[in-house]
Each structure stands twice: as C-alpha cells, then as structure tokens.
Amino acid sequence: MAGLQSKPRVRHAAATLDSGFPFSQFGGKSTVTLTVSGAKSRRWLLGEPDFRRLWLIGLVVFSVRWLEMLAVAVFAYQRTGSPLVVALLTVLRMLPMALFGALIGAAAERIERRTALVLVMALMLLCSLVLTLLAWSHALEVWHLALASFISGLTWTTDNPVRRTMIGEVVGPERMSAAMSIDVGANNASRMLGPTVGGILLATLGIGGAFTVSVTGYLVAVIVALRVRHRNTAMSSTPAGVLERMIEGLVLVRRDPRLSGTMIITVIYNTFGWPFTSMIPVIGQDNLGLGPAGIGLLASMDGIGAFCGAITIALCAKPPHFARIFVGGVTIYLLMLPVFAQAPGPVFAGAVLLLTGLANSAFSIMQATLVYLAAPPEMRGRVFGVLSVCIGVGMIGFLHLGWLAGVLGTTWAIMTIGAEGLVALLLTRRWWRAIGP
C-alpha cells in the first residue's frame, strides 16, 4: 500500500474490522489490512489532546468561513444586484488553491507544521479585524471583500497539507477515517451554525456584527493553535527543492489510478456541484422571498444534513465501501441540484438541502481519507497540495454558473450545471472506476 508499507496487522480489543484495501504507488500495488474497533478508535481519538485542539481549530475556522461567505454574498448582492459578482467573490476564495495549491503542498513538507498553523490563524485574524473596522466605519466596499476573499483562499489552501496532515500524524493511518468523519462533522456542524448566526447578525447588526464574531473566532483559533504540542521535523528548504517536490507529487498522482481517480471526482464535484451553494442567497431572496435571517436558516439546512451524514459514516462506514460512498455522494449531490432549483417553497427547498448535505458529507470524508491512505507518508503534503489544486479548479464552475445565471436566470443555471456534472461523471468513468473494487 502506498503510504503504508507492509506492516503487521494492528489489533485492538473488541470486535475487529478486517479490510484488504489495496492502494497503488507509481503503478505498483500492495495490500494492507487495517483492523480496528470503530467505537474504541473514536474513544481514543477524543482522548488525544492534540487531535481535540486541531479539531477545535477546524470547527472555529469552518464556522467563521461559512458565516463570512453568507455575509459577503448577501452584502454583495444587495449592493450590486448581480449574481455574477456573488459568484466571483467565491471564485477569489478558490483561485489561490488552483494557482498555489501544489506549491504550498510541497512547501508544507519543508516547514514545521505547527508554526505554519499559528501563522495562518494569525493572518486570518488580522484580515478579519481590518474588515470589521471598515464595516463599523461604514467604509466597506465590495472590492475590500474581494481582496479579503483572495487572502482567505490563501489560508484555506493550507488546511489539507498542514492541519489535516497533522491530524493524520497525530491519530495514525488506521484511525484516519474516523478522524476525518469527526473533522468533517465539525465542518458540517459549522454549516448549521455559521449561516444561521450570519443571517441573524446581518438582520440585526449588519455586516459589522458578522465580522466582529469572525474576529472573536479567529482569536480563539490562534490561542488553541499555540497550545498544539505536535511537531514534525522541518527540512531545509530551497526554491529548487520545493519545485522538485511539487513535480514529484504531480507525477505520483498521474501514475496512481486511485489518486488520479479521486482527483477527477474532486474536480467534477467542485466544478459542477459545489458552486450552486453561492446561489442559495439569490434563490432565497428572488424565488422564495426570504430575508437575511430566512436565507441563513435555509443555508444551514445543508449543514444539518451533512452533520447527520458525518455521524452515520463515522459509525457505519467500512473500508471496502469507501470508494462507493465517495462516488455515490457526488452522484446524489448532482441529482439534487435541479430539484432545488425548482423548489416551490422554503420548506421543500430546505428538505432538498438536507439531502445535498448528506451527499456532501460522503464526498468530503472519503476524499481526505482516500488521499491520505493512498499517498506515501513522505509525500502526503505534496499530494494534498495537488488535491488543493483540484478543489481550486472549481473556480471555473463558479464563473460558469455566474455567467449562466446572467444569461438564463439562476434557476435554469443551477439545473444546467447539475446536468453537466452528471454527464461529466459518465464521460470520465473509465478513469475514476479504479478508485474502488
């Protein structure tokens, strides 16, 4: 197994789960059996102080990110009345992933990750503080939000090669699926909390109140990051070394059918699936007649479904099913887009978003888990960097959706990208079917 060379079977007390899950490395294949008790694994995870700290950082940052994305979208749409501008602001959050994801992933292997984590949290705190001051002084403009979105995207690009790689190092490969279920569960819980709080703050205190909460959240994240004890050995870094490592990561992904298949599905989801979330405020205001608080509540339905999905996967998912859960989640997600676009009322729209949330959790958990398990330990940062690029490519989808919304209207635009995503899945089956049995 790439990333897990032949090791003795790990045995823990209680009922065990055996699964031969083959992974390939540069075209070669080997098989490892991971044997672990799911319930006991989760208890051990919660008993790991550094896992709890890294999980809490993720929960806080995710919550603030979803709050900010909703607040920025509503503010920009009210100022400009343009769905394209709303989509462009999300594109700017993803642009750094596409431009710098592979480079940052390679560089992350050459630095001490805990130090990088503290610096990233501090940068996010500073950016949010500036926006808060601008908002309360009534000087905030859309271009300020555009610049802040790009900076936020830079910090977002580090999450997989820094924080999530640290999680894997802390918990070990045999507990990575459970750890990712808990971490993605935090992300999904934040999608319940962030939009709801953001909507209420916008309706009561305006965007200044939303960014004030952001500052508080990032301050908590900085304090917790300073308490993380885990350290990795930082390697000396040179520009040539980083570039060489980035190329090695790209070559590995191209040669390993499991990694390349996972990346293809990631590109499809982020190009044709996820962009529709940027149009939820538009659908909520124009089609469903909701105000900021109602839009926030509607957007949180996706997070509720995803949180429930994460719990279910943490309790029930078995390694032989990982690939099917991954691909199936994307398929269901795309099927739900036309249904949401035609929703006759807020309750029906919320029910559909619950289903998209369930599907999203299947995709998100298995994405990080499959990549971590398939990549060799010494190359995980590089491979996660390539994953960030594949996520960042989704900015094309946001531009595409924004353009379609301007030409066809938001409803038909969402229906169109859902259909395009399903066609893309069919056309690329020969490459992604190697992900699983």
Q: Work out the pLDDT band at 281, boundaries 50, 70, 90.
A: confident
pLDDT (tens digit, 9 = 90+) per residue, 308-348? 887 787 777 777 888 888 999 999 999 999 999 888 888 99
More confident residue, 244 or 161: 161
Whole-angstrom distance, CA of residue 305 vs CA of residue 169: 29
Contact 394, 275 (CB under 8 A): yes
Q: Work out the pLDDT band at 233, boundaries 50, 70, 90.
A: low
Tokens 């992974």 — which residue?
23
Q: Is the pLDDT of residue 243 over 50?
A: yes
Whole-angstrom distance, CA of residue 38 vs CA of residue 44: 10
Q: Give the per-residue pLDDT at 191.
A: 67
Q: Is the pLDDT of residue 40 over 50?
A: no
Mean pLDDT of the chain: 78
More confident residue, 118 or 80: 118
* Mean pLDDT for the stretch of residues 271-276: 88
Whole-angstrom distance, CA of residue 399 vs CA of residue 283: 17
Q: Give the per-residue pLDDT at 336.
A: 93
Instruction: Give 66's contacts (C-beta < 8 A, 6+ positions apart).
Output: 190, 191, 193, 194, 195, 198, 299, 303
Q: Give the per-residue pLDDT at 209.
A: 83
More confident residue, 309 or 6: 309
pLDDT (tens digit, 9 = 90+) per residue, 378-404? 777 778 778 878 887 877 888 888 888
Rg over alpha carbons for the chain, rounded to the nearest Å, is 21
Instruction: Give 214's contacts (C-beta < 8 A, 6+ positions apart).
Output: 64, 67, 68, 128, 131, 132
Question: By C-alpha distance, which of 336, 333, 334, 349 is closest to 286?
Answer: 349
Q: Give the per-residue pLDDT at 126.
A: 93
Whole-angstrom distance, CA of residue 44 vs CA of residue 32: 22
Q: Give the per-residue pLDDT at 284.
A: 86
Q: Work out the pLDDT band at 420, boundaries 50, 70, 90.
A: very high
pLDDT (tens digit, 9 = 90+) per residue, 91-130? 788 788 777 777 777 777 777 888 889 999 999 999 999 9
Q: Work out the pLDDT band at 11, boundaries 50, 70, 90.
A: very low
pLDDT (tens digit, 9 = 90+) per residue, 172-220? 777 777 777 788 777 767 766 666 676 777 777 778 888 888 899 999 9
Q: What angle do CA 376, 386, 42 make, to 5 degrees?
A: 55
Whole-angstrom distance, CA of residue 93 vs CA of residue 116: 19
Q: Give the per-residue pLDDT at 437.
A: 52
Q: Please give the structure tokens belonging to residue 219.
A: 């301050």
pLDDT (tens digit, 9 = 90+) per residue, 143-164? 888 898 898 888 888 887 888 8
Q: How many CA atoms lie within 13 A of 202 on its CB side?
A: 25
* Mean pLDDT for the stretch of residues 226-234: 79
Q: Give the per-residue pLDDT at 98.
A: 76
Q: Work out the pLDDT band at 241, boundaries 50, 70, 90.
A: low
Q: Give the per-residue pLDDT at 431.
A: 84
Whole-angstrom distance, CA of residue 275 vs CA of residue 383: 24
Q: Is the pLDDT of residue 35 over 60?
A: no
Phi, psi of 20 (to 5 degrees): -80, 110
% helix, strand, coil for the chain, step of 5: 80, 5, 15
Contact 16, 29 (CB under 8 A): no
Which one of 31-45, 103-117, 228-242 scores highest in mean pLDDT? 103-117
More confident residue, 121 or 87: 121
Q: Give the per-residue pLDDT at 18.
A: 31
Q: Looking at 12-26, 264-278, 337-351, 398-412, which range is the least confident one? A: 12-26
Q: Give the per-residue pLDDT at 36.
A: 39
Percent of the chain whose predicted confidence (pLDDT) is above 90 = 16
